[in-house]
Amino acid sequence: MIFVDTNYFLRFLLADQEVQHHTAKMLFKKAATGEVDLFTSLIVFFEVYWVLASFYKKEKAELVEKLEGLLSMTFIDYQDHDVLVSAVRVFKETPLDLEDAYNLVYASANGASELKTFDQQLQKVYKKTSE
């Protein structure tokens, strides 16, 4: 198993450094054909989001497109894959940021009977989704 860190995903998505983009692309092609097994963590996924949003100033629609693209790479084992897929959908459809969308979905997926937060936007979306 090979762990994939943030910078591999970023170079692949942004194609801003030709050699590194090619290296990442080749690794992903090997994984797609079953030559290697890849996995990554929640931290890496959220770091990709954070770098794209804060450093590269990507708009929400482009963020969603890139994150959905990563999650569609079924040859990579993502920690909490199903929760991440749902969180990206909630992020896309609501005013929540990805972190709050993830927490909302994670709480629901793990049987939370309530969500306690001082974040009014999160509370509003929670109420809508739990009705």
Please report the pLDDT score of residue 129 as a whole number. Answer: 82
Q: What are phi and psi of 93, to 5 degrees?
A: -95, -5
Task: Kindly state the tokens that stand for 118.
Answer: 């001082």
Percent of the chain at pLDDT exceeding 90: 95
Query: For residue range 111-126, what is the model confidence (pLDDT) as tens digits?
Result: 999 999 999 999 999 8
Segment 9-26 mean pLDDT: 98
β-partners of residue 77 are 39
Integer angstrom CA distances of residue 128 from 66, 106, 125: 27, 16, 5
* pLDDT at residue 11, rounded to an integer: 98
Model-wide pTM > 0.85: yes
**What ranges do the domains of the chain cover?**
1-64, 80-131
Q: Are 87 and 101 in contact (CB under 8 A)?
A: yes
| Residue 98 pLDDT grade (very low, low, confident, very high; cuts 50, 70, 90) | very high
